[in-house]
Amino acid sequence: MCGIGGEARFDGSRPDDAAVTRMTEAMRSRGPDGEGLWSDGWVTLGHRRLTIIDLSDAGAQPMVREDLGLGLVFNGCIYNYPELREELRNAGYDFRSTSDTEVILVAYAHWGERFVDHLVGMFAFGLVDQVRRRLVLARDRLGIKPLYLAETPGRLRFASSLPALLRAGDVDTGIDPVALHHYLSWHSIVPAPRTVLRGVRKLPPATLRIVEADGRSRDERYWQPDYVREPAEAAMGARDWQAAVGEALRTAVRRRLVADVPVGVLLSGGLDSSLIVALLAEAGQRHLRTFSIGFDSRGDEAGDEFHYSDLVARAFDTDHQRVRLGDDDLVPAVRRTVLAMTEPMGSHDVVAFHLLSEQVAQHVKVAQSGQGADEVFAGYGYHQPLAEVPRKAAADEFASAFFDRDHAELNRVVGPAYALDRDASRDLLDAHLAAPGAQTALDAVLRLDTHLMLPDDPVKRVDSMSMAWGLEVRTPFLDQDLVTLAAHCPPEHKLARGGKGVLKEVAREVLPAEVIDRPKGYFPVPALRNVDGAVRELVVEALQAPVARERALFRSEYVAHLLAEPDRAAAAAGSNKLWQLGLLELWLQSHGIH
């Protein structure tokens, strides 16, 4: 797990090594253990290292194999690298390290562009093919690892974070009106390839981009499971699916133990993280390090789920640590969290993940987490009604349950310079849900959740907040084989028992019933959910700052309405609109964007 960056020039000039150095320096927290720079004349690669696999200097990056004519910077982990290494050795290749980084280089030398098909893991990388004079950029199947791009005439820059590109300079920081439309429609989510800034894009998940030395490029989407029933699985009943999902999840959890350092677990006390702890214990892991976080309660709203995390920790004899924080810890944490965001993230629990990661990183460098289970196994409340909805009505059902605002209201929110004459968010939703390869309305929505929304909400949130402290977080529920299996699983098995039915049956084999049958919980941060006290003052300050008034992202009368009645306005759409707007302005101002 690391921070990567680079610059390619297509106009005959040399890359700006100083700009690449500024990018890598901006990602020091992602890779506190080392740094490196390498240039091939038209491409310069930069790297910040977090030592997880092959802790020696032999695993340092940029990694160059002159005999193969290849150079690489890589962020992530290839879980099947020992097996690939053995296969490639048998094919006649030698290795100079024990790192997964070198396995990627040799895999490309052996399989060419199809090498990504052989990689099991989370990754983003830039690979220079010196013989063909190509830059190969790639991102893993579920978008767990980020890759941001800034293109100008004659130049391409890439980095693991958007602020790193800003540090390099010469970025168009104007607001993208379509991205703003998505942000205000979808709980602050801006799906790839857009970002809120006009001059920055991100490589979509499961995408390979081949960039030639003259600037020509082509993209290939190398993976997308179909959400249909497979004939070979037609005879499978509920117990068969339970067994198949259980076996795939056990494999996913074991895969993510690959490391030369200890691996812990972020234990919220919910079904998903508790199941990971149980399966790790079943696999023979003893005295796991587990971590939970809690905040002050507010009225009837609890600020922690320690009852459940403690129960799991006792059941599996983990080395458990509670992290309890008060409201006084939140305001400074909000400011630090915003600086750590690769993009604006309006979810309340992003601050909690930032604070939790700070504590966990003092004890381990790697942790497993339960993100993705709800999207993959239909765990949200809006999934249930989809069982009764015709395939063609999926978009209407999803929009009514998920959208923060419709297009008409949105144009009453944004300033005139950012208003659109078309419903860009609904257009994207309709196109995605209508695409072939999904059999039912639920299949179409789960595909949308997993492959479009998830990479730019919980996945991005966890990566940004954990890597701000040099902590690598691995997500077994986003294992490529488990996701493919779940895509084929009949909807009724996922929707059973209020959602995640097949997963709950797997859990009954290993977890106490109290953890499985409890009400669904969320990461509770009452002070942020209510936007009161010092947190509200911070938001108000950002929205009323001179730079915000000059930018005029939002209509002044709408902001005034939110400030007068923040709670009522928030409840109307099921999300806190004041926080959403204030967070965006706070992010822009924190990164010096005027």
The pLDDT score that the predictor gives to residue 28 is 96
Amino acid type, 565: E
pLDDT at 444 over 80: yes
The pLDDT score that the predictor gives to residue 294 is 86
In the DSSP assignment, the letter for residue 231 is G
The pLDDT score that the predictor gives to residue 564 is 82
Dist CA 180 CA 497 (whole Å): 37
The pLDDT score that the predictor gives to residue 570 is 45
Dist CA 550 CA 594 (whole Å): 9
Residues in CB range of 488: below 8 A, 6 or more apart = 225, 226, 227, 228, 229, 230, 233
Q: Is the pTM of this model over 0.85?
A: yes
Region 163-169: mean pLDDT is 98
The pLDDT score that the predictor gives to residue 148 is 98
What are 567's two structure tokens? 């709670």
The helix, strand and coil proportions of the chain, stated in percent and rounded to the nearest 5, come to 50, 20, 35
Q: Buried b / exposed e across 212-245, counting CB within 10 Å, b at 16+?
A: ebeeebeeeebbebebebeeeeeebeeeebbebb
CB atoms within 10 A of CB 405: 20
Place of tokens 């005439």: 153
CB atoms within 10 A of CB 31: 24
pLDDT at 246 over 80: yes
Helix or strand run (H / E) with residue 210: strand 207-212
Lowest-pLDDT range of 51-60, 230-239, 559-568 = 559-568
Average model confidence (pLDDT) for the chain? 93
Residues in CB range of 407: below 8 A, 6 or more apart = 420, 423, 425, 426
> Partners of 152 in the beta sheet?
155
Dist CA 103 CA 88 (whole Å): 8
pLDDT digits (tens, 9 = 90+) for 106-163: 999 999 999 999 999 999 999 999 999 999 999 999 999 999 999 999 999 999 999 9
Helix or strand run (H / E) with residue 201: strand 201-202
Helix or strand run (H / E) with residue 206: none
CB atoms within 10 A of CB 513: 10
Dist CA 273 CA 534 (whole Å): 32
The pLDDT score that the predictor gives to residue 573 is 41
Confidence band of 561 (pLDDT split at 50, 70, 90): confident
Place of tokens 């003092």: 362
| Cβ proximity of 594 and 546 under 8 Å | no
pLDDT at 556 over 90: yes
The pLDDT score that the predictor gives to residue 545 is 96
> Partners of 194 in the beta sheet?
201
Closest by CA position to 19, among listed 126, 164, 149: 164
pLDDT at 296 over 80: no
Confidence band of 529 (pLDDT split at 50, 70, 90): low
Helix axis angle for 238-255 and 480-488, nearest 10°, is 170
Region 188-199: mean pLDDT is 97
HSE (CB half, 13 Å, CA atoms) of 528? 26
Closest by CA position to 204, among listed 139, 145, 156: 139
Strand pairing report for 70-78 and 121-129: antiparallel
> Partners of 9 in the beta sheet?
155
pLDDT at 575 over 60: no
| Cβ proximity of 202 and 192 under 8 Å | yes
Quote the distance between the C-alpha of residue 482 and its chain's center: 17
Dist CA 159 CA 24 (whole Å): 8
| Cβ proximity of 6 and 45 under 8 Å | yes
- With a pLDDT cut of 70, the percent of the chain lying above it is 95
Region 272-283: mean pLDDT is 96
The pLDDT score that the predictor gives to residue 565 is 66
> Partners of 534 in the beta sheet?
none
Helix axis angle for 556-564 and 566-573, nearest 10°, is 100
| Cβ proximity of 220 and 185 under 8 Å | no
> Partners of 217 in the beta sheet?
211
The pLDDT score that the predictor gives to residue 481 is 98
What are 551's two structure tokens? 């930018």
CB atoms within 10 A of CB 575: 18
Confidence band of 594 (pLDDT split at 50, 70, 90): confident
Closest by CA position to 338, among listed 328, 351, 357: 351
